[in-house]
Amino acid sequence: MRDVSGLASRVGAAVSRDAAFDVLIAEVSRAFNTRACLFQRVDGEWRVLAQARGGLRASPSNVALASERFPSDRSIVTLDLREIGEGAWTWAPLSAPPEPPIALLLAEDWTASETLISLATLLSSVLRSIRDRDDKRRAERLLVEEYTLARRLSRLGGTELVAQRIVDQVSRSLRADVVSLALYQPSINRLVVTAAHGHGAAALADIRVEPRSWVIGHVYSSGRPVLVSDVRRIREAPQRRPQYRTFSFAAVPVLADGHVIGVLSATDKRDGSVFDRQDLLTLRTYSASAALALMASSRDTEVHRLAYAATVDALTGLFNRTYLDVRLLEEVERAKRGSSPLTLLMADIDGFKLINDTHGHQMGDAVLQAVASTARSAVRVFDVCARYGGDEFAILMPSSDHASAVTCAERIRQRVADYVSDGDATPRLPPITISIGVAVIDEGDAPADLVGRADRCLYKAKARGKNCVCLSSDDLSVVRLSAHDTEDPV
């Protein structure tokens, strides 16, 4: 009995359940000086966990044939395996419900061995303890990973970043090669894969799944998780899965405020094994973290959207007067600190009231949109284009001096004058011209000083016949450009 206890202790000291199986089969084979196999029943099939001294010397098909003869009770019995080229083997079960069945198979007849009977009882208890210990460790690790993930997600912005971090973490935790997160989009009544990890991720990004359609759609509609050991056993499932290596998968709903907002799913475990209840629990734990993070990022995105909308003119898509005033103050202070140039353009559509009176306000709106689009296309990406009010526009140009600013202003003026509506555009726009005033910051200027000089130049441009650019220099002289000028001002 001392030897039996020592053997069981060595198995129990293994660092993990898989390591315990290796120690068990090696120690038992050595103790009985014979070949040995360890089997586990998974999804209705007996599979080899470990072997020693060659185990069953038979082809995989013959091993599968032999497993059909394995008994279902907990008795130690002798099996006649001459049909597969073997002799007598002893069958000793090592687990009890509700644990997955595990059994030891020893070459020769050991049914009368008191040592084997005692060892089987001890090993059953040891394996149960190892399973409980591993489950506890796994739960503790999951809590740590979930906490770490939650902290990381709280620092991210945007649904896509949050979703990608979630699927990457699930892949690591479940050791799954393919993980995806699909979120429901009401506008198209479809689930869309927002983030994916693993091979075929790019192809998954194009998937649109209708609610109640197979797997993801079913999980979304029912709000219930799905755990499948072998998809080939599902009648409605596609029998060919060329992009996947295995046939087992797990999928859980992502719930937020009592509603299903998406589905988190995983397949292709790296070791080829099937997903079990513990994997499903892990997936559900991460889905809870995902829901909180996604709701937070969605709200954050909405806040940013509303904040952005508050700075943009709804008609033209340019920044509005409020945003321009804030940026103008910032850029004036920055220009003073860095002794760098700063230019402001003020532009006004010529004869805009006549366009409204003659063609109507819809035409007037179309003209405003055309001028806004033209101005935005003619400036640098970091210049600030804004609708200042009515038919007046302002363009703030950091690090821009007189020459470069006037060149830009003339480019805008010329493009507006040359603007032609698209052939299919409705309504067709009348001829448009604009007048532009240009002012560059002087030492000691406040924002109002810069705006005032640009405005005065704009009025002078109007007074000189419109469709021209006027600028102020240090001595407030005025330079006029018209459609007939051919050289840039200096």
CATH number, domain of 250, equals 3.30.450.40
Whether 12 maps to a domain, the answer reads yes
Residue with token string 């004869």: 351
Nearest to 262 by CA among 280, 288, 300: 288
Q: What average pLDDT score do residues 231-256 get?
A: 72
Report the number of distinct structural domains present in the chain: 3
- Integer Cα distance of 349 and 408 in angstroms: 17
**Which phi and psi angles does 113 have, rounded to 5°?**
-80, 115
Whether 147 maps to a domain, the answer reads no
- Integer Cα distance of 347 and 395 in angstroms: 8
Single-letter residue type at 252: V
82 pLDDT band, cuts 50/70/90, is: confident
CA 168-174-180 angle, to 5 degrees, is: 45
What is the pLDDT, as a whole number, of residue 186?
Answer: 81
Domain co-membership, 174 together with 127: no
Specify the higher pLDDT residue, 160 or 53: 53
What is the pLDDT, as a whole number, of residue 454?
Answer: 94
Domain co-membership, 8 together with 87: yes
CB 118 within 8 A of CB 1: yes
Q: How many alpha carbons fall within 13 Å on the CB side of residue 470?
A: 21
Whether 148 maps to a domain, the answer reads no
Domain co-membership, 126 together with 173: no
* Options 279, 391, 445, 455, the catalytic residue: 391
Nearest to 92 by CA among 5, 78, 52: 78
What is the pLDDT, as a whole number, of residue 101?
Answer: 85
Tell me if residue 391 is catalytic. Answer: yes
Give the CA-trace dihedral at 85, 91, 94, 95, to 10 degrees.
100
481 pLDDT band, cuts 50/70/90, is: very low
Domain co-membership, 165 together with 272: yes
Q: What average pLDDT score do residues 226-247 get?
A: 69
Q: What average pLDDT score do residues 285-307 get?
A: 65
Where in the sequence is the domain holding 184, given as residue range(s)? 156-304
Domain co-membership, 273 together with 357: no
CB 75 within 8 A of CB 117: no
The residue among 277, 304, 331 that closes a domain is: 304
What is the pLDDT, as a whole number, of residue 185?
Answer: 84
What is the pLDDT, as a whole number, of residue 348?
Answer: 95
ω into 100 cis (within 30 of 0): no
The residue among 304, 334, 353 that closes a domain is: 304
What is the pLDDT, as a whole number, of residue 458?
Answer: 94
482 pLDDT band, cuts 50/70/90, is: very low
